[in-house]
């Protein structure tokens, strides 16, 4: 099964207030394992960058000024996700911005039913605990030392690991299959030994009789 773990960075909290995407990062999973295929792009938001947003992700208006607009990368993005289920942390936030940008380009939206929200999963699994990406990385002992600022691709890579742990761990099915294959290989390599006949040979009966003759008053011969 192919899944896309993704994250976005933006100029603010709501596209309804005129805020825009500035970064998209995607990681491909196949059967819950990272394939190494990623999609990552910085986007010119065609507007200024509020200081509070820049403090979170470190992306300035100057840095983004020469980057492509969303309409220039939309085809590459849609080709990468290609109908696969999407996974994000607080998915409705990211989906809201993606769909707002798609609408600007005259493209159809991505339906919410296609997205899995790891924040909702974490809240159900660990009620009352902290559910931020940092908190979940700490819970599952996932190295986040490179996360100085929020970054869409880095956060998607961290979330991919969190998602696998949240939904049962890396070993589901895989270790059992690996063990079965190893057992079969070992059995095939074992030296064949013909089964032993169940009836004692004449030589074995003779040695047994000689052994019994040396016993003094064996209990099974007492009248």
List pLDDT tens digits, range 123-167: 999 999 999 999 999 999 999 887 767 899 999 999 999 999 999
Q: How many CA atoms lie within 13 A of 144 on its CB side?
A: 24
Domains belonging to the chain, first-starting first, are 2-174 (3.30.420.10)
149 is a catalytic site residue: no
What angle do helix axes 70-81 and 91-104 make, rounded to 10 degrees?
Answer: 120
Judge whether 25 and 80 are in contact, CB under 8 Å: no
Our separate counts of H helices and E strands in the chain read: 9, 5
In this prediction the pTM is: 0.74
The separation between CA 19 and the C-alpha centre of its own chain, rounded to angstroms, equals 30
Among the listed residues 57, 150, 198, 208, the single catalytic one is 150
Could you read off the pLDDT of 101-126 as tens digits, one per residue?
A: 999 999 999 999 999 999 999 999 99
């Amino acid at each position: 099964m192919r899944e896309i773990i993704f994250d976005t960075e933006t100029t603010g909290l709501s596209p309804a207030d005129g805020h825009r995407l500035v970064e998209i990062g995607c990681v491909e999973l196949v059967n819950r394992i990272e394939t190494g295929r990623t999609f990552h792009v910085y986007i010119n938001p065609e507007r200024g960058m509020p200081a509070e947003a820049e403090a979170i992700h470190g992306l300035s208006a100057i840095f983004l000024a020469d980057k492509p607009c969303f309409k220039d990368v939309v085809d590459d993005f849609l080709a990468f996700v290609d109908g696969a289920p999407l996974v994000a942390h607080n998915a409705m936030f990211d989906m809201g911005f993606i769909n707002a940008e798609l609408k600007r380009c005259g493209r159809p939206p991505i339906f919410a039913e296609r997205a899995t929200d790891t924040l909702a999963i974490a809240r159900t699994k660990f009620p009352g605990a902290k559910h931020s990406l940092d908190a979940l990385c700490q819970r599952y002992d996932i190295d986040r030392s490179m996360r100085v600022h929020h970054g869409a691709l880095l956060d998607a890579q961290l979330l991919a690991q969190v998602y696998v742990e949240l939904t049962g761990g890396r070993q589901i099915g895989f270790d059992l299959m690996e063990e079965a294959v190893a057992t079969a290989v070992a059995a095939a390599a074992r030296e064949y030994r013909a089964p032993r006949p169940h009836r004692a040979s004449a030589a074995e009966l003779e040695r047994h009789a000689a052994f019994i003759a040396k016993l003094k008053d064996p209990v099974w011969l007492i009248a």
